[in-house]
Amino acid sequence: MNWWDDALHRATAEVVLVGALAGLVGVQVVLRRLSFFTMALTHATFPGVVAASIIGVNIYLGGVVAGAIIALGVAALSRRSGQNAAAATGVMLSGGFALGAGLVATQSGFSRDLSSFLVGSVLTVSPQDLVITAVALVVVAAILLACARPLLYTGFDQGGARAAGYATGAWDVVLLLTIEVVVVTVVPAVGTILALALIVAPAAAARQWSTRLGVITALAVTFGILSGLGGLYASSHGNVAAGASITLTATAILALSTVLSRAVRTRVPASLGSSAVPA
């Protein structure tokens, strides 16, 4: 029997890839304070995935299209007043979710699939899902690496970047679409609703431990993979839904990091600890 024929083996490979992918893009999400936007994106992806499934087209395609519309809409809105952009993002969040729920209600006997779109179903990932996740990981890593300098400049100092000649609006769109690709890719593993925690928690936990971007990125990827593996282990031994246990593991890593990093900083002499705590 081929190693890949075992559902648990495929699930293990999938959570490693998804954890790395989520951790990688999560650093950008956390540093640019895009968590709320990403939340809206995950909810907007839901109707796209459901609609694609009803029409019978690829669910990745449906999710990417729905999410891209939202990403571009939010990018356009955020160029206007900040207050209205936050309100509009919030409305899109529940509006997108309502649209998905409404679409589901039009189809009888759909409820079982509904839960897999919402919270994932990692034990049923296909070899095709694995290939897509691996390709997405390579593409996203390549984009983040190739665009590291413009993304760093525009993320740290929008005004200065604009003055230096960067098209900051275009870079925002590049990043938002990259985040959307990740959101859609992790749907089979953790679903649309739980994707947010897997993207944000590892990076937010990593941020507690370092002020170096390279270290934060490496830690975020590690925490993302650990969340996936830990969640999968708990799921297979504790009879818990995998999507939920992966999300809970990521949340636990964030909670532990917050408590432990604070404890470490208070024990370390101030001269060393100060570099970890920005004033």
Judged by CB under 8 A, how many residues of this single chain contact another protein? 28
Q: Which residue's CB is nearer to another protein, number 155 or number 243? A: 155
Whether 24 and 220 have beta carbons less than 8 Å apart is answered as yes
d(CA 186, CA 182): 6
154, 28 in Cβ contact below 8 A?
Answer: no
Q: How many CA atoms lie within 13 A of 232 on its CB side?
A: 24
236 C-beta neighbours (distance < 10 Å), count: 15
Q: How far is the CB of 35 from another protein (least distance, A)?
A: 14
85/99 with CB nearer another protein: 85
Q: Which residues, numbered 215-244, are part of the site for another protein (CB under 8 A)?
A: 216
Cβ nearer to another protein, comparing 91 with 148: 148
By CB under 8 A, tell whether 266 contacts another protein: no
Token pair of 128, please?
Answer: 């095709």
- The nearest distance, CB 116 to another protein, in angstroms, is 36
Considering only residues 3 through 62, tell me which ones interact with another protein, judged by CB under 8 A. 31
CB closer to another protein, 113 vs 157: 157
Please give the residues from 141 up to 200 whose contact with another protein meets the rule CB under 8 A. 145-150, 152-153, 155-157, 159-160, 162-165
Minimum distance from CB of 142 to another protein (Å)? 10
- The answer to whether residues 198 and 224 touch, using CB atoms and an 8 Å cutoff, is yes
DSSP category for residue 268: S
Give buried/exposed letters for 187-198 (b at 16+ CB in 10 A, else e). bbbbbbbbbbbb
- Site residues, another protein (CB under 8 A): 31, 145-150, 152-153, 155-157, 159-160, 162-165, 207, 210-213, 216, 274-275, 278-279
